[in-house]
A and B are shown apart, each in its own frame.
Chain A
Amino acid sequence: MTARVMVIDDSMLVRRQVSAALKTPGYLVTEAVDGVDALEKLAGLSDTKLIVCDVNMPRMNGIELLEKLSAQGSAVPVVMLTTEGQPELIQRARSLGAKGWIVKPFKPEFLVATAAKLAPLGA
């Protein structure tokens, strides 16, 4: 069994790194370039089990995406993957329902462990 993860980041390099890290244990990875792109794609992908999302992106940033997902009543867990480390921002994301916060540059094994906890394969 597999599980779909959506990675949202305006950097192709990051999307590639996250994809590589998560495809290895068997996740299916979809990419989006910012919050607007992600919402459009999520509307057509009901099997997304986890979202890995950057904060600073054009058009709609990661916090704004969290607000939208929360307003929609989304139950998909979201983990932020960002260079930001401000406690206030982390708290804001948490209050909007985010399930985790990973600071770049990230260790692939941490990302995989996080995915295993929030969206275990075979669940």
Chain B
Amino acid sequence: MRVILLNERRAERDAMVRALPQDTYRVEAVGDETAALAAIAREAPQVVVFSVPSKGGQDLARRLRGGENAAEAYLLAVVEATPVNKELSNLITAGVHDFMRRPFADGELLERVKAPERLLRWSRSVSKPNAFDFSAALDVSTLRSWRTLGQLVAEDLGEMAGAPFAVSQGYPAQLNGEAPCASIPMSLAGDQLELRLSIVADPAAAKWIRETLLGDPAAPETAVRDALRELANTAGGALKRAALNESITLTTGIPRDDSSTRFPGKHQCWSLKLEGGAGCLAVVGEVRTRSNERISAAQLSEGMVLAHDIRSEGGVLIVPAGSRLTATSANRLAAMLGPRYFLEVAPAA
């Protein structure tokens, strides 16, 4: 970390240099503003520590911060024991981040200079997922199983249909407006994500469902929707098994009727055409973020997905992370754990 020290008091300046370990900090110590600005212009510092003069401290702070190289530097002002009037608030307005009062104790400068490192790490962990952040959500687009979802689903649905589907990317043009749609939610509770697979049928596909899958051309709408739900279930199974090969475990929910006109999450679509123009199904894969909730065991209910393992006091696994609760298991856990036990869950889809 590069640190610029501006202090006209030589003895104090030398002491400050000695207080910062050389193997961690590259310190350039200067005695006046001109030298400080030149040092900043040469190489951007992460931290600027400067002694506040008796007058014009606010303007000095602005000039130190003014250059392009110092725009993101952490400014640490060294002030007298009893700063006058509104000196501190004026310095804050000018862009100073922290203060040290004279005389400063041993080690205080080092701790103050370490503060921006801690803040940067915290800031990265909450705003910028990276490879080293346990809380960073999985980037689903990197999964091969997600990228080839259309083909995966087509293979399994083709088995059901007894004939292959022709797959192409994109939402079928003929599917405008509302159409029969079923979806299945698939939870990644640990990553606070929900994948949603939807299957939409055009009128010809709905006819095919009646005649071929149900074997009843007069089958009611409810039967068609039930069949579509099972198609969504099959699609979800195909994705889940493929994701398992990439060491990603999805928790499958219960398929349900859904709307074909709203896909609010980040999504991708495929068109699956039945042989001989018998109809077309749309496959839509969506990624939605779903914040987990921390709730009492007494509030567990069907459909929630556990975000972490539940273990006994002895460490024995009772229920693994990723388990989807049914009414049966929710009641059992509530009775076993009691209302004072809190857990993190993904809410029911």
Q: Do chains A and B touch in the complex (CB under 8 A)?
A: yes
Residues of A within 8 A of B (CB): 10-14, 16, 20, 35-36, 56-61, 64, 82-86, 103-105
Instruction: Assess whether B244 is in contact with A86, with CB atoms less than 8 Å apart.
Output: yes
* Residues of chain A lying within 8 A (CB to CB) of residue B327: 58-60
In chain A, what residue has the closest Cβ to B233?
A83
Determine chain B's interface SS by DSSP, over half rule.
Answer: helix
Instruction: Assess whether B156 is in contact with A105, with CB atoms less than 8 Å apart.
Output: yes
List B230-257 residues whose CB lies under 8 Å from chain A: 230, 233-234, 236-238, 240-241, 244, 249, 252-255
CA distance A60 to B331 in the complex (A): 11
Residues of B within 8 A of A (CB): 156-157, 159-160, 213-215, 223, 226-227, 229-230, 233-234, 236-238, 240-241, 244, 249, 252-255, 302, 324, 326-329
* Residues of chain A lying within 8 A (CB to CB) of residue B255: 11
Instruction: Assess whether A83 is in contact with B223, with CB atoms less than 8 Å apart.
Output: no
CA distance A35 to B213 in the complex (A): 25
* Residues of chain A lying within 8 A (CB to CB) of residue B240: 83-85
In chain A, what residue has the closest Cβ to B157?
A105
CA distance A36 to B324 in the complex (A): 17
A19 to chain B, nearest CB (A): 11
CA distance A36 to B249 in the complex (A): 27
Instruction: Assess whether A35 is in contact with B214, with CB atoms less than 8 Å apart.
Output: no
* Residues of chain B lying within 8 A (CB to CB) of residue A83: 233-234, 236-238, 240-241, 252
- Known contacts A59-B326, A61-B326; is-contact A12 B226 (Cβ 8 Å): yes
* Residues of chain A lying within 8 A (CB to CB) of residue B157: 105
CA distance A86 to B237 in the complex (A): 10
Instruction: Assess whether A64 is in contact with B328, with CB atoms less than 8 Å apart.
Output: yes
* Residues of chain B lying within 8 A (CB to CB) of residue A10: 254
Determine chain A's interface SS by DSSP, over half rule.
Answer: loop
Instruction: Assess whether B244 is in contact with A85, with CB atoms less than 8 Å apart.
Output: yes
B212 to chain A, nearest CB (A): 11
From B233, B241, B324, give the contact of A11 (CB < 8 A).
B233
Q: A56-B324, A104-B234 are in contact. List 4 more A-B contacts (CB 8 A).
A: A10-B254, A12-B227, A13-B214, A64-B328
* Residues of chain B lying within 8 A (CB to CB) of residue A57: 254, 326
Instruction: Assess whether B214 is in contact with A16, with CB atoms less than 8 Å apart.
Output: yes
* Residues of chain A lying within 8 A (CB to CB) of residue B156: 105
- Known contacts A56-B252, A64-B326, A84-B252; is-contact A13 B302 (Cβ 8 Å): no
CA distance A59 to B223 in the complex (A): 21
* 17 A–B pairs (Cβ distance < 8 Å), ordered by A: A11-B255, A12-B226, A13-B223, A36-B328, A56-B233, A56-B252, A58-B326, A60-B328, A83-B234, A83-B236, A83-B237, A83-B240, A84-B252, A103-B241, A104-B234, A105-B160, A105-B234
* Residues of chain A lying within 8 A (CB to CB) of residue B223: 12-13
* Residues of chain A lying within 8 A (CB to CB) of residue B226: 11-13
Instruction: Assess whether A13 is in contact with B326, with CB atoms less than 8 Å apart.
Output: no
Instruction: Assess whether B230 is in contact with A13, with CB atoms less than 8 Å apart.
Output: yes
- Known contacts A11-B226, A84-B237, A85-B237; is-contact A56 B159 (Cβ 8 Å): no
Instruction: Assess whether A13 is in contact with B254, with CB atoms less than 8 Å apart.
Output: no
B289 to chain A, nearest CB (A): 23
A28 to chain B, nearest CB (A): 20
In chain A, what residue has the closest Cβ to B303?
A58
